[in-house]
């Protein structure tokens, strides 16, 4: 193999890995954002449900 062959392998390795990592990272960020948002929504829902039942609140709402 010529020197240029080795150069090609090295550059492909670095750029390929970095690009793959960046894409993966972007996907992980998007995923974590979605999950957090969904969880937060369901948490708020949960809290409202608990409020309506009045099981958690032991003080009456302010007039």
Partner 1 sequence: MEWIQRQGRLLGLTAFGSMAIGAYLGLVWSPPDVDQGDAMRILYMHVPTIWTAYLAYFLVLVGSVLYLWKRDLKWDRLAGSAAELGVLLTALTLAVGSVWAKPVWGVWWTWDPRLTTTAILFVIYAGYLMLRTLAADPRSRAKQSAIVGIIGFIDIPIVHMSVLWWRSLHQAPTILQPNLGNAPLDPRMEVALFVNLFAFTVLFVFLLGQRLKLAQLEQRRDEVLWEEARVV
Binding site for partner 1 (CB under 8 A): 1-4, 6-7, 9-11, 13-15, 17-18, 21-22, 25-26, 28-29, 32-33, 35-36, 39-40, 42-43, 46-47, 50, 56
Residue 3 or residue 59: which is nearer to partner 1 going by CB? 3
23, 17 Cβ separation under 8 angstroms:
no
Please give the structure tokens belonging to residue 4: 């240029």
Residue 18 or residue 54: which is nearer to partner 1 going by CB? 18
Question: What is the C-alpha to C-alpha distance for residues 27 and 30, in angstroms, rounded to an integer?
Answer: 5
Q: In angstroms, give the least distance from the CB of 50 to partner 1.
A: 6
50, 56 Cβ separation under 8 angstroms:
yes
């Amino acid at each position: 193999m010529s020197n240029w062959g080795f150069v090609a392998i090295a550059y492909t390795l670095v750029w390929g890995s970095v690009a793959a990592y960046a894409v993966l990272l972007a996907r992980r960020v998007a995923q974590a954002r979605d999950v957090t948002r969904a969880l937060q929504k369901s948490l708020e829902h949960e809290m409202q449900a608990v409020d309506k039942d009045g099981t958690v609140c032991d003080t009456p709402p302010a007039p």
